[in-house]
Amino acid sequence: MWKMLKVMLVLLLLVAGFPTTSNAYGWGFKKGTNHEPPEVGKYGTILEQNGGYYIDNSGEKVVYLTFDNGYEAGYTEPILDVLKKEEVPATFFLTGHYVRSEPDLVKRMAEDGHIIGNHSYHHPDFTNISKEEFREELKTLDSAIHKITGQEKLQYVRPPRGTFNEQTIQWANELGYIHVFWSLAFVDWHSDKKQGWESAYRQVMDQIHPGAIILLHTVSEDNAAALVHFITDLRKQGYTFKSLDDLVIKDIMPNPLLGL
């Protein structure tokens, strides 16, 4: 009898470390057009209830550039060159593999004033790991970044493959991270499928909307070549480029125009 009780206790302890819901969502939406944001359905409600961002809802013509870096294909440096020349801030969400293999580029991102975000160390499905494993994924990546840049802790997290649920967002909140998804993206992670810079440019310009958080992958030669073109043309349309820190600060600061 005592043996059975011990087995049950162990099972309960194991279960307690895993998500309390079986739901696993893959971030996605129907693309926005005509300068209108995409409709994200229930995902927007989940973020409203649990925290996180995918867009700046202020209505201002601002854009937030974010890049996901899992491995290097030779295009991050020219991307950084464009960003520096155009004085555009960005956030780079990095994995452990990228940090281990490209410390000089990681160091440059920080030295150029860009934000480094946490994309996990091993790129797992957050909804299929325990709370302790989740913590280790983020903390290990933080530690790797700290050794290169001296930064104590990363603030923003983007779940691998955009897979999440309410519990994983809450776990991140408890650890002091803010989830950042996106409102503009396209298939750009196949480095062997080049379509020309005009294709990447058109995808951005066709989907652009006020408050867009753009997701790009640095393995794309098309993206690297298109970057300066859509930065220039979006500015002509009245858009400005801000960092995620600007978005979060704006979100928590009182608005004097509203009497808050």
Instruction: Determine whether 217 is an active site residue.
Output: yes
- The CA distances from residue 137 to 21, 111, 118, 123, 144, in Å, are 20, 24, 9, 8, 11
* Phi/psi-derived region of residue 123, left when phi > 0, alpha when psi is between -120 and 50, beta in every other case: left
Q: Which two tokens stand for residue 64?
A: 């937030």
Please identify which of the residues 56, 68, 188, 222 carries the catalytic annotation.
68
Q: Which residues contact 95 (CB under 8 A, 6 or more apart)?
A: 69, 70, 119, 120, 121, 122, 123, 141, 160
Cβ atoms of residues 92 and 69 within 8 Å: yes
Task: Measure the CA–CA gap between 176 and 156, rounded to whole angstroms.
Answer: 9
CB neighbours of residue 29 within 10 Å:
18
Long-range pairs of 13-19 with CB within 8 A, sequence gap ≥ 24: 17/130, 17/131, 17/132, 18/129, 18/130, 18/131, 19/127, 19/165, 19/167, 19/168
Please identify which of the residues 114, 119, 209, 217 carries the catalytic annotation.
217
Nearest to 123 by CA among 159, 149, 151: 159
Counts of helices then strands in the chain (DSSP H, E): 10, 9
Q: Which of the residues are catalytic?
A: 68, 217
